[in-house]
């Protein structure tokens, strides 16, 4: 079922709550520029195994409200806290993809892991998606700046181009259309501002504040969040396990979805 949660005086987030009576709860945070629908191939399987799957559309994306501002990691983490408190969640697994993974990490640091028993990171945009002094492993900042410019000039065309950037395996035209349709309802300014956030913000100081078991899933062919980011996460988080996906790019939750779902369930039950 779907409903709205108020996280600020003028902002409501859409929440999809699948199998609310499940034994264990996983709270999913999607990546840029998508929505909770990106996790369709998890929501098809995990509830049948007894899990409650909650997907948030972050502000500016999917069915959520689209305010002009608030597109930074602190505000996104605070929005997640608003959902957690509104639903009374405790002892849950927090899971995030790409910028959603960065948001999850900031939540753990900023809100001291409130209610979280385990953390799962999927191709997370941390500790920095872009290169910076002393950290040569991310995308060039100018590449992200181009995404911002393309978003503000011709967002549909920019979104079409993400198919080649996000997927390593060949996917059908129909699946590419599905991916495009997930991203299209976002506000253009939200899409641009979140890209500026992952271009400019970093989480180097956040990783060491994570005190729960953490699973890192990452595609070896990721052209958005390079594999070196996963290594840095493993080194920076005290209790972390890294699992590589040999046949995936940035969209490992689809490209190797059976392995993805299996690894996530093993982690939760372990």
Positions marked catalytic: 98, 222, 250
Whole-Å CA distances, 195 to 32, 85, 141: 8, 27, 10
Q: Using CA atoms, how far apart are residues 192 and 207, in angstroms rounded to an integer?
A: 26
Report helix, strand or coil for 247.
coil
Degrees to nearest 5, angle at CA 216 with 210 and 217: 160
Asked if residues 256 and 167 have their Cβ atoms less than 8 Å apart, the reply is no
Peptide bond into 33 cis (omega under 30): yes
Q: What separation in angstroms does the CA of 247 have from each of 117, 124, 167, 175, 255? A: 29, 17, 10, 17, 7
What gap in Å lies between CA 126 and CA 105, rounded to an integer? 8
């Amino acid at each position: 079922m779907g409903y709205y949660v108020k996280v600020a005086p003028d902002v409501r987030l859409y929440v999809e709550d699948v199998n609310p009576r499940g034994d264990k709860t996983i709270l999913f945070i999607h990546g840029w520029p998508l929505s909770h629908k990106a996790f369709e191939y998890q929501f098809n399987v995990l509830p049948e195994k007894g899990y409650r799957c909650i997907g948030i559309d972050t502000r500016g994306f999917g069915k959520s409200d689209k305010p002009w501002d608030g597109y930074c990691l602190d505000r996104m983490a605070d929005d997640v806290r608003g959902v957690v408190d509104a639903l009374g969640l405790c002892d849950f697994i927090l899971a995030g993809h790409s910028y959603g993974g960065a948001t999850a990490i900031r939540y753990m640091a900023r809100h001291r892991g409130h209610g979280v028993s385990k953390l799962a990171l999927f191709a997370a945009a941390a500790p920095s998606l872009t290169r910076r002094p002393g950290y040569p492993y991310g995308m060039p900042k100018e590449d992200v700046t181009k995404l911002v410019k393309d978003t503000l000039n011709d967002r549909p065309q920019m979104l079409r181009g993400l198919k080649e950037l996000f997927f390593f395996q060949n996917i059908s035209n129909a699946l590419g259309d599905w991916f495009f349709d997930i991203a299209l309802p976002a506000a253009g300014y939200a899409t641009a501002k979140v890209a500026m956030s992952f271009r400019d913000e970093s989480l180097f100081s956040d990783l060491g504040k994570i005190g729960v078991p953490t699973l890192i899933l990452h595609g070896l062919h990721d052209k958005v969040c390079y594999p070196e980011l996963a290594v840095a996460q493993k080194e920076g988080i005290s209790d972390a396990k890294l699992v590589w996906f040999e046949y995936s790019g940035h969209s490992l939750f689809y490209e190797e979805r059976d392995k993805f779902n299996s690894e996530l369930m093993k982690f939760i039950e372990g």
